Amino acid sequence: MTTSIFRRTLLLTALAAACAAPAFADSVASSASSAGSASSGSISDSIGGSSNSSNKDKRVAAGEYRVIEVAQAPAKPDTTRMTLRAAAGAVNGDNAQFTLDVPNRALAQRGVHTGELVQVNERVYGYEFAYVDGKQPFFLALQDDWYRDLASRQVTI
């Protein structure tokens, strides 16, 4: 139980730092909550293999990826699907191309366009996706157990 609370606290701190949301004293909790829902998702719901990939484990290698396509995610309202391909041979094998589904709200301040580079960083909680030019993260794909730990729960006394 204590490990779960520590992990949740660590994750909320990482989300707040990664999303760089404005912190107002009267709305810190509200900002963290909305940043978490808009700027993160589970790996199983967010990352897909390429159409010619036999790899089903949803693992992604850290490195730079070029956005080769941006479109509405099929059957996911208000979600953008990006197809990412490893830039300049930085990543080999089945993980060299994959799709990433991101809530549109996570891209509201700045979109991602075909031809741009995206930096993928592997973190203890999953993957961080950032703009290459400013290193500012725009989305976190969380391991499923971390994502479940973030879910709101009713507190009873």
Its pTM stands at 0.67
Higher-scoring residue by pLDDT: 109, 36: 109
Question: Does residue 130 register a pLDDT over 70?
Answer: yes
Whole-number pLDDT of residue 143:
87
Look up residue 84 and give its two tokens: 């990412």
Question: Does residue 136 register a pLDDT over 80?
Answer: yes
- Percent of the chain clearing pLDDT 70 (strictly above): 60
For 74-137, give the DSSP string: TT-TTEEEEEEEEGGG-S-GGGGEEEEEEEGGGGSSS---TT-EEEEEEETTEEEEEETTT--E
* pLDDT tens-digit series, residues 12-51: 555 555 544 343 333 333 333 334 444 888 888 889 875 4
* pLDDT tens-digit series, residues 69-106: 999 999 999 999 999 999 876 555 555 899 999 999 99
Domain boundaries, the chain: 2-150
Whole-number pLDDT of residue 70:
97
Question: Does residue 9 register a pLDDT over 80?
Answer: no
Residue with tokens 């490195």: 63
Whole-number average pLDDT of the chain:
74
